[in-house]
Amino acid sequence: MSFTVAIIGRPNVGKSTIFNRLIGKRLAIVDDQPGVTRDRREGEGRVGDLTFRLFDTAGLEDADNESLEGRMRQQTEAAVAEADAVLFVIDARAGVTPLDDHFARWLRREKQKVILVANKCEGKAGKPGLYESFGLGLGDPVPLSAEHGEGLSELYDALSAYAPESAHDDYSDFDDDGEVVDDIIEESPDGAVTWRDAKAPDTIRLAIVGRPNVGKSTFVNALLGEDRMLTGPEAGITRDAIESDWEFEGQPFKLFDTAGLRRRSKVTKRLEYLSGEDTRRAIQFAHVVVLMLDASTMLEKQDLTIARMVVEEGRALVIAANKWDIVENREKALGHLRDRLQTSLPQVKGIPYITISAERGRNLDKLLHSIVQTYDTWNRRVSTSRLNRWLADMTGQHPPPLAKGRRIKLRYMTQIKTRPPTFAAFVSQPTELPEAYIRYLVNGLRESFQLTAVPIRFYLRGSKNPYVNDD
């Protein structure tokens, strides 16, 4: 998108509500508590036929540069510098405050294209604040109620005055029949299939998760090559799952920096609960999840809880042991990591683990290559003919047991989906097939078709294969 818009204003004026309204999704966390948003959140905004890149920013506060609030303000200033136009938001019900006036003067000095938005203008309560906003010297205000969707036509007119013609949708994503272009499938000679997005081919959605203060935001900043995410010694700085577009060796990525996850029993504040739910949604949305560990305290109970959550969601999992540069006994630390993976995550064998230092930029390329390889495995499809030749070999080497005096028959097998690899076997007595024999088949799938490091779904069906003679 050639047109970028940043939403700025003091805390609790409704910036995130406007952001959610314009992107058409509830991505940004919204709460009555001021200062919820800390990082720049990016999304694709739309008003009518106008599409644009949209930044949600932290509330503007006049604070020391070294403080958390000061670092948040610097992130907002960076968004303003990058934007083609700025939505400066005030709370019409509260009226113009000294802080509003302070930052309005700053915007006038920046000589930025500014659209003044008087939010919360529903009803009569916002009228006095709307009239006051004329005195800010930023032009005529746009009366808006983001919560109720009022005033969007006026906002469209204001944005259109600054937007280039290319920002207006030409509907190029539709085919000749008016249908949206769907996903395509590419098949390789060996029978493996990879699903690819027609609009953004090969884009990997990568979520970085872990406990608070393990270095997730530092890692994302190291990849992006800029201080895109807010970092610092304070635990729990990140609250939203922040999305960033990035590319590695020609491979497009969508990176999701997430809030740290603590045990549910320790979460007492509503805001931390909302942040945790945002992280869980990021996991559900991701293709690959990097579980970031503090190498000095690897795979604690909460780390394993997060890992199991990722596996249960069917996402591909890669482990990154961060802060490796400060670990003294590295052999002992690696031994502990391997042991914990084998004993506590037996359902997914071969999970890759990479030792890194995000702050020093060490081993990041190695981690990224592992992510791409794991993503390819997660997308792998095995042809039905190969599966059934394999099934015949497996049952020949180790036949299924007897049940009720009759041999259980595995008649037919097929892969029903990818992401993760999911298989269905048609069995004469599905309820009688022991778990041990199912594990034998799943382990065989991993070994024979190189399906290590990803979850495998395996279902039994009782339906009879019509192409097999039961005699």
User: Could you read off the pLDDT of 114-166 as tens digits, one per residue?
Assistant: 999 999 988 777 888 888 889 898 889 999 998 888 889 899 989 988 888 77
pLDDT value at 272 more than 70: no
pLDDT value at 6 more than 50: yes
Contact 212, 262 (CB under 8 A): yes
pLDDT value at 466 more than 90: no
Looking up tokens 């609960």 gives 273
Looking up tokens 């009366």 gives 143
**Gap between the Cα atoms of 237 and 292, Å rounded:** 16
Residue 330 burial (CB count, 10 A): 12
User: Could you read off the pLDDT of 9-46 as tens digits, one per residue?
Assistant: 888 888 888 988 898 877 655 544 544 555 677 788 88
Sorted by sequence, the CB contacts under 8 Å of residue 366 that are 6+ apart come out as 354, 356
Please give the average per-residue pLDDT across 74-89, as a whole number. 85
**Gap between the Cα atoms of 126 and 146, Å rounded:** 13
Range 436-444, long-range pairs (CB < 8 A, 24+ positions): 437/398, 437/400, 437/401, 440/394, 440/398, 441/394, 443/349, 444/390, 444/394
- Terminal-to-terminal C-alpha distance of the chain: 63
Sorted by sequence, the CB contacts under 8 Å of residue 297 that are 6+ apart come out as none
- Residue 234, pLDDT score: 52
Nearest to 210 by CA among 94, 293, 318, 108: 293
Integer angstrom CA distances of residue 261 from 7, 66, 288, 314: 28, 26, 17, 19
Q: Which fold has domain 384-461?
A: GMP Synthetase; Chain A, domain 3 (3.30.300)
User: Could you read off the pLDDT of 171-225 as tens digits, one per residue?
Assistant: 444 344 333 333 334 444 444 444 333 333 478 999 999 988 888 889 998 998 8
pLDDT value at 1 more than 70: no
Exposed, middle or buried: residue 451 (CB in 10 Å: 0-12, 13-18, 19+)?
buried
Compute the chain's Rg from CA coordinates. 27
- Residue 217, pLDDT score: 87
- 405: pLDDT confidence band, cut at 50, 70 and 90? confident
Please give the average per-residue pLDDT across 271-290, as a whole number. 79
**Gap between the Cα atoms of 80 and 83, Å rounded:** 5
Question: Three-class SS string for the chain?
Answer: CCCEEEEECCCCCCHHHHHHHHHCCCCCCCCCCCCCCCCCEEEEEEECCEEEEEEECCCCCCCCCCCHHHHHHHHHHHHHHHCCEEEEEEECCCCCCHHHHHHHHHHHHHCCCEEEEEECCCCCCCHHHHHHHHHHCCCCCEECECCCCECHHHHHHHHHCCCCHHHECCCCCECCCCCECCCEEEECCCCCEEEECCCCCCCEEEEEEECCCCCHHHHHHHHHCCCCCCCCCCCCCCCCCEEEEEEECCEEEEEEECCCCCCHHHCCCHHHHHHHHHHHHHHHHCCEEEEEEEHHHCCCHHHHHHHHHHHHCCCEEEEEEECHHHCCCHHHHHHHHHHHHHHHCCCCCCCCEEECECCCCECHHHHHHHHHHHHHHHCCCCCHHHHHHHHHHHHHHCCCCEECCEECCEEEEEEEECCCCEEEEEECCHHHCCHHHHHHHHHHHHHHCCCCCCCCEEEEECCCCCCCCCC
**Gap between the Cα atoms of 283 and 387, Å rounded:** 30
Strands 114-119 and 85-91: parallel
Please give the average per-residue pLDDT across 409-438, as a whole number. 91
- Residue 73, pLDDT score: 73
pLDDT value at 236 more than 60: no
pLDDT value at 445 more than 50: yes
Which range, 25-39, 56-70, 237-251, has the best average confidence (pLDDT)?
A: 237-251
Exposed, middle or buried: residue 340 (CB in 10 Å: 0-12, 13-18, 19+)?
middle
Whether 202-378 and 4-167 are alike in CATH topology: the answer is yes
Integer angstrom CA distances of residue 333 from 212, 290, 296, 328, 357: 20, 19, 8, 9, 15
pLDDT value at 243 more than 90: no
Which range, 109-113, 167-171, 316-320, has the best average confidence (pLDDT)?
A: 316-320
Sorted by sequence, the CB contacts under 8 Å of residue 197 that are 6+ apart come out as 183, 203
**Superfamily of chain region 4-167:** P-loop containing nucleotide triphosphate hydrolases (3.40.50.300)
- What residues does 184 pair with on adjacent strands? 196
- Domain-by-domain residue ranges, the chain? 4-167, 202-378, 384-461
Global pTM exceeds 0.75: no
Q: What is the CATH number of domain 202-378?
A: 3.40.50.300
Nearest to 359 by CA among 258, 236, 214: 214
- Residue 176, pLDDT score: 40
- 8: pLDDT confidence band, cut at 50, 70 and 90? confident
Tokens of 182: 């769907």
User: Could you read off the pLDDT of 114-125 as tens digits, one per residue?
Assistant: 999 999 988 777
